[in-house]
Amino acid sequence: MAQQHLLMIEDDTRLASMVGEYLRQSGYGFTHAADAATGLDALQTTPPELVILDLMLPDMDGLEVCRRIKAASPGIAVLMLTAKGDPMDRIVGLEMGADDYLPKPFEPRELLARIRAVLRRGSEMVAGISSAYKVMRFGSLEIDRDARFVSVSGKPCELTSYQFDLLVALAERAGRVLTRDQIMEAVRGRELEAFDRSIDVHMGRIRNAIEVDAKEPKRILTVRGVGYVFAKQQD
């Protein structure tokens, strides 16, 4: 298997050096950029599979960097580092397209586990999903699980790897009301706290991508006080 490459955009050079040494020992290629401008340039010269992105950078807000990365290369995963673990920071980061977040300070082993989980979600089908058929169709909505591609009326929908997995988990259980815990268990990704709003943020992003009117959703319905249900019958 080809070596996967990681880019860390972080102005704390001591932290970046420590992280880089650890990740290289774990089998990854690693590049460090000390500011946003250098990091965005590095995306063009050596495109990584994943960017470890600090929220606080000297020359540009990390959220804006995340937005630019996802706009230019939606297939590149972004793991955002937040200094204080502020819930609003991570919610806004997810809204910008980040695939995961990790508050500082962190243990290198936890960072490695998060990186592996994000990359695995981007390269594998969700565990337990049958491969009997590749494309699920719900009216004008098509979900190609092998290609990890979603379209509505033939137009592609941009989703992060985690959002794609969430959508598949819901679609595979169309018509069933699922709690947030059941959805997260189906995805088998990083466990979120039961009251963490980030799963709701992801659902909002998915609706923006696949619904005709995200304010009046017809595909992913909220069941107040319980969770979500994916509609079996769709236009």
CA 59 to chain centre: 25
What is the model's pLDDT at position 192? 46
Q: Residue 6: is its pLDDT beyond 80?
A: yes
Domain CATH number, residue 158: 1.10.10.10
What is the model's pLDDT at position 180? 85
What is the model's pLDDT at position 127? 39
pLDDT by residue (tens digit) across 49-102? 999 999 999 999 999 999 899 888 878 899 999 876 566 666 777 777 888 888
Strand extents, DSSP E, 92-202: 100-103, 135-138, 141-144, 149-152, 155-156, 177-179
Question: Are 148 and 195 members of one domain?
Answer: yes
Question: Are 103 and 143 members of one domain?
Answer: no
Give the count of beta carbons closer than 10 Å to the beta carbon of residue 142. 16
Q: Residue 193: is its pLDDT beyond 50?
A: no
Domain CATH number, residue 119: 3.40.50.2300
Of the candidates 180, 171, 185, the one whose C-alpha atom is nearest the C-alpha of residue 220 is: 171
Q: Residue 208: is its pLDDT beyond 90?
A: yes
**Count of domains observed in the chain:** 2
Last residue of a domain, one of 123, 143, 176: 123
Report the DSSP beta bridge partners of residue 100. Answer: 79
Rounded (10°) angle between helices 161-172 and 180-187: 110
Which pLDDT band, with edges at 50, 70 and 90, does 129 fall under?
Answer: very low
**Which residue would you say has higher pLDDT here, 215 or 186?**
215
Q: What is the mean pLDDT of the chain?
A: 85
What is the model's pLDDT at position 233? 77
Q: For residue 235, is it within any domain?
A: no
In sequence order, the 6+-apart residues with CB closer than 8 A to the CB of 12 are 54
| Residue 100, both tokens | 């995961």
Q: Residue 130: is its pLDDT beyond 60?
A: no
Which pLDDT band, with edges at 50, 70 and 90, does 190 fall under?
Answer: very low
Strand extents, DSSP E, the chain: 5-9, 29-33, 50-54, 77-82, 100-103, 135-138, 141-144, 149-152, 155-156, 177-179, 220-223, 227-230
Distance CA 198, CA 204 (A): 10
**Structural domain boundaries, residue 13:** 5-123
Q: Residue 31: is its pLDDT beyond 70?
A: yes
